[in-house]
Amino acid sequence: MLFEGQDGGPHSAQSLRQVFLAALGKVGIRRKLSLHSLRYSFATHLVERGTDIRYIQELLGNASTRTTEIYTHVTPRTLGQIKTPLDEL
C-alpha cells in the first residue's frame, strides 16, 4: 500500500480526491484536474525521457499499447528534440 489511511487501511477514493485537490490548491494550480491526471502525467514524462511504449504499457497495466497511447501526450519540447536522418547530412 502506497499511502496508508487514518485507520491503517487503504484510503477511500473520496479521501484521496480531497488530498489531491487540497495539494493543487496549496501550490496554486487552478486547472480542473483529477487523480487520473497523474496517470497521464506519469506516462507522458516517461515518453519524454525515451522510455519504450511497451514498458510504459506494462507499468500502467494496460492490455494494449493502443490504450497506453491514450495516456501519453506529445509536447512541443519533445517534438523539438527529434532528430531525423537528414539532420546527420
Angle between helices 35-48 and 13-26 (to 10 degrees): 70
Give the 3-state secondary structure of residue 55. Answer: helix
pLDDT in tens, 24-42: 999 999 999 998 888 888 8
Angle between helices 53-60 and 35-48 (to 10 degrees): 160
pTM of the model: 0.64
C-beta separation of 47 from 41 below 8 A: no
What is the distance between the alpha carbons of residues 70 and 88, in angstroms, rounded to a whole number?
A: 32
pLDDT in tens, 40-76: 888 888 888 888 889 999 999 989 988 888 878 776 7
What is the distance between the alpha carbons of residues 60 and 72, in angstroms, rounded to a whole number?
A: 11
